[in-house]
Amino acid sequence: MKISKLLSIILLVVITTSCEKVIDVDLETAKPRLVVEASINWYENTTGNEQRIKLSTTTDYYSTTVPPVLDATVFITNSSGDVFNFIQEDLSGTYLCNDFLPSLGETYTLTVVYKGETYTATDKLLDTPTITRVEQKNDAGPLGNQTEIKFFFNDLIDETNQYFARIDDPYKVIPEYGVIEDRFFENNEMFGLYFSEDFKTGDTIKFTLNGITRNYYNYMNILLAQTGTNSAGPFSTPTSTIRGNVVNQTNFDNFALGYFRLSKTAVKEYIVE
């Protein structure tokens, strides 16, 4: 019995020690690709003249920094041929334009020239409904211990619409994102819904809404499924490389990642009661 007990203790120590061993996996690093973050948001009650686009490249799995893209040429043109230049703002890969002219229904084309290759993307600036009211329920959720916040807006009349929603929770570093379509709510009141166990009286939650195209809706639907609660975790293999609407006109195989989109933007801040 003593020998059996001693062997059990030794085995436990070996197993515990093995669990603490750090294993470095030698992963292959693919050729860096351009990543385009180009969301043109025309916020309510603003001119929309100031816009920013951020450029970076992909990097290896273990990297703790995102490599910025510097010295690129970035501009947007509209259907009339007006050119809006984006000038490098700092060393973060951010490019700034101070004279952009947003117009609902207008089609815009983004051009990025980087390392001798030209990337383009085209999208239309869409309208977005105003957030009309907010409702709060304090005994929500299966156990009745969550606060429910609803942001209401009226669907744009007589057209098929998709919306991109963002919720800034004061207790989360990363915002929550979601996409909504009006398939079953066309021409009616719609809402964005959010639950939390952490909210306290006086907390501020911010809801942001953008009208988006069907293509961007599909793009974000796939992206959120792979990176959100429907994914198989941080070490899962993505089912596919999600490509946006940015096309490399010089070398098609050297495609970029990211998306170029434009829309009117509605924002509503709510103080929890």
Residue-wise pLDDT for 220-243, tens only, equals: 999 998 876 544 444 444 556 788
For residues 231 and 193, is the Cβ–Cβ distance under 8 A?
no
Question: For position 46, what pLDDT does the model report?
Answer: 96
Residue 202, in any domain of the structure: no
In a domain, 207, yes or no: no
Question: Which of 153, 206, 155, 136 minimizes the C-alpha distance to 177?
Answer: 206
CATH of the domain at 87: 2.60.40
pLDDT: which is higher, 6 or 110: 110
Residue 91 is assigned to a structural domain of this protein: yes
Domain assignment present for 198: no
Residue 130: helix, strand or coil by DSSP?
A: coil
What pLDDT score was predicted for residue 19?
53
Identify whether 39 is part of a domain: yes
pLDDT tens-digit map of 149-204: 999 999 999 999 999 999 999 999 999 999 999 998 899 999 999 999 999 999 99
What is the C-alpha separation between 263 and 212, in angstroms, rounded? 7
Residue 40 in any domain: the answer is yes
What is the number of structural domains in the chain? 1
pLDDT for res 44: 92
- pLDDT of 8 > 50? The answer is no
Percent of all residues in the chain with a pLDDT value above 70, rounded to a whole number: 84
CA 154-244-87 angle, to 5 degrees, is 90
Domain span at residue 90?
34-127+242-265
Quote the pLDDT of residue 137.
93
Identify the DSSP state of 68.
B
**Contact call for residues 242 and 222 (beta carbons, < 8 A):** yes
pLDDT in tens, 87-102: 999 999 999 999 999 9
In a domain? residue 255: yes
Share of the chain above pLDDT 90, in %: 73
Between CA 125 and CA 245 the distance in angstroms is 15
